[in-house]
């Protein structure tokens, strides 16, 4: 395409952006305590422990019907640390071995982390930070073992944007401390659902640290503890059972957001498929030997971006809503996030798949912008936005999630094909910057050092970039390159040649201050469960990339005697490396191609590497595989750019006091809203005295108790935090009263933590709670 010119305003904005980048890099160099320090990742501490959730229907002290509860707050002092003494390994009970099936355990644990003063991970939009919570985030783990205990595996689906290398290394370290060699790098898969509404801050590579505005140890520990706890629960819950598999299409929830790229693939290849997205859902149903339900894992290709980049509430998006519905269905009488049944809706080859099914339109004219550059005549790419089917983004997430849940429910109910056979696993670390592949019988090609193209900065129709870059850019800007070269240095001729036709915006593979900007060492991993092969992909395959990959791995298994394998792509696993397009899609350099960091032959390299693992499993030669070069674990990382601040209540008020009371009466379908004197919610990720920021409680006259009907994991509630000046803040709680609500008396409770610091003394975090006035829900 022709070279792009920039307006005076855009040049000024770009100059400011580059200036900010230079300042950020300088701050990074100053704030990193140890630059380039790597350690062996040993003895990094034991996981913190959490008290178990309150049983369903737990009660609070009663108040007489019709009375007004105290408007003040009840204060208890909480510790500023959640670290406990090292856990001791509990011996497993004797195994029951004489049965057909597997030992199966499922576990779920909270991994929400900070819900304020932290960036949300996914869109990379400046200013999109967390300001409250719509739903909690969970880690869902499944431990599966052969009857004789000889081989086992763990699959974990986590409500986060992606799994970082630092998360995985820390989780593996803690599992080794607790279980020895039971759970290892080869038989543990960690997969992110790819919600774009979870907290950032848990990465170690510099590009992601900058995007996260620092490393948040508070959130990192919270997520690690949640993952480890979910695995511990699954391990403890293992019992003899059976697994069944089913597959089926899901219609009406996807579009391809880069159809122009998809059309670059050979016509003969495209003719083999009826759609430009993968519609098939794979479901694993887990039951005990009595047929009682234990859990579900579903894999389906869709981006959890129904919640767009204007959202500020932490939530699990459409796939999380599917999990919520399935678990509520199976865990009758339990609050969300509680109960024994676990349903994971995991990611797959979602790279070019959007849930915003109304498609891209120019928001200023209404005309379609489904073109090669996703650009509008007025406003360019920043006004070309795809919309979901609902009246707002929450409604869209629920509509998409409901459809996915309903189809999974049907497949689960009709699943009859039992999964049988041995468990096996294979893993290697590989240097993805130096993989050689054969193009044909005489010519080879190599992967590249990481780099991001111009279209990376353009974003997508699900969330445009901060500056007005355009998708499909194949020619660089001399002006921008001059500024980049002055700040970051010139990219080498080698990386420019290797990455062609990508015009390089950021040569991240050649940037190492204060730490490398992108990973070189990447995990490749396969776990086989009888005829099912779970491939752990460290990024986002596009639709056609996933199809080629599945076909190649299945053929490799078949070559060595394992026929008719079901190859499952599990996305966003173990370490994040952005996107993987086909060679043909790479040539037109839309967002996904510009974000294929290891160059045009990345997909071919992954196919080669995973075929090696498949062959090793099929020929029982996994023991002969080399482990590969171990990835780094950087000892110290940049502190968050948003500092901790002391919380303050207004004069004459205390934390939890009601500022805006509820009305005395509400109808179904209305929103009950109350505002309290608040404190920074990030304190609650450090002191976990309370398991929720809110409860909605109904008065039960027969028992004269208040019964909890909703918590902050419920999709019917919202918790908004409004940050003021000098440590002042408010907290607003909403209950969107559903049609299923029973008439009667209700109240809303707020649970928080405030940071207090006296002169020359360390800060302490104190817990408090408060209760609204009583209100009535009526039918008319």
- The DSSP annotation for 417-456 comes to EE--S-EEEEEEEEETTS-EEESSSS-EEE--S--EEGGG
Catalytic positions, please?
A: 354
d(CA 221, CA 355): 31
Instruction: Give the Cα separation of 151 and 457 in Å (integer).
Output: 45
Per the document, the length of the chain is 780
Report residue 4 CA to chain centroid gap: 35
Nearest residue to 547 via CA among 279, 193, 192, 247: 279
Q: How far apart are CA 509 and CA 520, in angstroms?
A: 8
What angle in degrees, to the nearest 10, is found between the helix axes of 8-31 and 478-488? 20
Residues 6+ apart with CB under 8 A from 294: 104, 105, 106, 239, 241, 286, 287, 288, 340, 341, 342
Give the three-state DSSP class for 37. Answer: coil
Instruction: Please give the C-alpha separations between residue 387 and each of 183, 261, 537, 705, in angstroms, as whole numbers.
Output: 42, 20, 28, 45
Contact of 686 with 118, CB cutoff 8 Å? no
The stretches of 3-94 forming alpha helices (DSSP H) are 8-31
Distance of CA 63 to the CA centre of its chain: 41
Pairing of strands 744-756, 694-700: antiparallel
Beta strands in 500-571 (DSSP E): 504-506, 521-529, 532-536, 540-541, 566-570
Q: What is the distance between the alpha carbons of residues 532 and 189, in angstroms, rounded to a whole number?
A: 14
Between the CA of residue 552 and those of 267, 567, 582, 746, what are the distances in Å?
Answer: 19, 10, 14, 58
> Which residues on adjacent β-strands are paired with residue 287?
242, 293
Tell me the C-alpha distance between 654 and 662, whole Å: 19
Based on its alpha-carbon atoms, the radius of gyration of the chain, rounded to whole angstroms, reads 26
Q: Rounded distance, CA 114 to CA 136, Å? A: 11
Residue 753 DSSP symbol: E
Distance CA 510, CA 490 (A): 9
By the 8 A CB rule, do 528 and 152 touch?
A: no
b or e along 557-576 (b: 16 or more beta carbons within 10 Å of the residue's beta carbon)? beeeebeebbbbbbbbbbbb
- Whole-number Cα distances in Å, 394 to 307, 347, 397, 718: 6, 20, 5, 11
Q: CB neighbours of 394 closer than 8 A, spacing ≥ 6?
A: 134, 307, 715
β-strand pairing of 359-362 with 384-387: antiparallel
């Amino acid at each position: 395409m022709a070279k792009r010119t920039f307006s005076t305003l855009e040049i000024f904005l770009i100059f400011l952006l580059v200036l900010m980048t230079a300042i950020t890099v300088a701050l990074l160099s100053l704030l990193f305590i140890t630059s380039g320090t790597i350690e062996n990742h040993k003895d990094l501490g034991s996981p913190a422990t959490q008290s178990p959730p309150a049983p369903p229907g737990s009660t609070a002290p009663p108040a007489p019907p019709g009375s007004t509860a105290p408007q003040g707050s009840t204060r208890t002092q909480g510790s500023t640390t959640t670290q406990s003494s090292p856990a001791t390994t509990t011996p497993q009970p004797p195994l029951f071995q004489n049965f057909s099936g597997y030992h199966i355990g499922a576990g779920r644990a909270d991994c929400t982390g900070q819900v304020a003063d932290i960036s949300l991970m996914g869109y990379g939009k400046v200013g999109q930070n967390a300001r409250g919570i719509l739903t909690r985030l969970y880690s869902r783990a499944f431990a599966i073992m052969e009857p004789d205990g000889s081989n086992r595996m763990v699959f974990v689906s986590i409500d986060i944007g992606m799994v970082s290398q630092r998360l995985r290394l820390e989780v593996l370290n803690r599992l080794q401390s607790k279980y020895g060699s039971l759970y290892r790098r080869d038989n543990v898969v960690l997969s992110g659902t790819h919600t774009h509404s979870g907290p950032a801050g848990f990465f170690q590579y510099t590009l992601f640290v900058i995007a996260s505005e620092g490393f948040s140890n508070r959130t990192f520990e919270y997520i690690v503890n949640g993952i480890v706890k979910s695995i511990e629960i699954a391990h403890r819950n293992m019992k003899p059972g059976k697994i069944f598999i089913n597959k089926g299409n899901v219609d009406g929830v996807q579009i391809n957001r880069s159809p122009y790229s998809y059309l670059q693939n050979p016509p003969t290849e495209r003719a083999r498929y009826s759609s430009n997205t993968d519609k098939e859902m794979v479901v694993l149903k887990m039951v005990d030997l009595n047929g009682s339900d234990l859990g579900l894992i579903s894999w389906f290709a869709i981006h959890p971006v129904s919640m767009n980049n204007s959202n500020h509430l932490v939530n699990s998006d459409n796939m999380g809503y599917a999990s919520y519905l399935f678990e509520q269905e199976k865990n009758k009488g339990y609050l969300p996030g509680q109960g024994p049944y676990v349903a994971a809706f995991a990611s797959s080859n979602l790279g070019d798949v959007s849930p915003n099914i109304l498609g891209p339109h120019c928001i200023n004219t209404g005309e379609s912008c489904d073109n090669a550059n996703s650009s509008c005549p007025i406003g360019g790419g920043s006004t070309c936005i795809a919309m979901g089917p609902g009246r707002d983004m929450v409604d869209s997430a629920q509509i998409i999630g409901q459809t996915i849940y309903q189809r999974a429910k049907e497949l689960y109910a009709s699943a009859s094909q039992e999964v049988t056979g041995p468990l096996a696993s294979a893993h290697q670390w590989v240097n993805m910057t130096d993989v050689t592949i054969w193009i044909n019988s005489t010519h080879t090609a190599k992967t590249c050092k990481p780099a991001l193209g111009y279209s990376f900065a353009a974003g997508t129709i699900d969330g445009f970039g901060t500056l007005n870059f355009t998708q499909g850019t194949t020619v660089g800007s001399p002006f921008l390159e001059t500024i980049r070269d002055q700040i970051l240095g010139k990219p080498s001729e080698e990386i420019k040649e290797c990455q062609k036709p990508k015009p390089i915006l950021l040569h991240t593979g050649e940037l190492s201050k204060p730490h490398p900007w992108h990973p070189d060492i990447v995990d490749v991993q396969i776990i086989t469960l009888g005829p099912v092969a779970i491939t752990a992909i460290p990024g986002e395959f596009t639709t056609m990339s996933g199809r080629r990959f599945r076909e190649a791995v299945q053929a490799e298994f078949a070559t060595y005697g394992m026929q008719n394998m079901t190859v499952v792509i599990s996305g966003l696993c173990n370490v994040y490396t952005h996107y993987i397009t086909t060679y043909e899609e790479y040539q037109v350099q839309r967002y996904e191609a510009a974000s294929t960091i290891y160059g045009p032959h990345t997909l071919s390299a992954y196919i080669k590497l995973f075929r090696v693992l498949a062959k090793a499993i099929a020929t029982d030669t996994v023991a002969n595989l080399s482990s590969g070069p171990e990835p780094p674990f950087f000892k110290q990382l940049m502190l968050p750019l948003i500092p901790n601040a002391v919380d303050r209540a207004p004069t004459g008020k205390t934390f939890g006091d009601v500022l805006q009371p509820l009305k005395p009466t509400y109808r179904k379908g209305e929103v009950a809203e109350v505002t309290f004197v608040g404190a920074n919610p990030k304190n609650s990720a450090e002191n976990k005295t309370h398991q929720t920021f809110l409860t909605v409680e109904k008065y039960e006259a027969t028992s004269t108790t208040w019964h909890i009907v909703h918590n902050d994991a419920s999709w019917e509630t919202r918790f908004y935090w409004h940050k003021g000046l000098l440590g002042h803040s408010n907290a607003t709680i909403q209950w969107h009263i559903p049609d299923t609500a029973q008439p009667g008396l209700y109240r809303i409770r707020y649970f928080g933590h405030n940071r207090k610091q006296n002169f020359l003394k360390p800060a302490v975090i104190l817990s408090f709670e408060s209760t609204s006035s009583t209100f009535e829900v009526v039918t008319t």
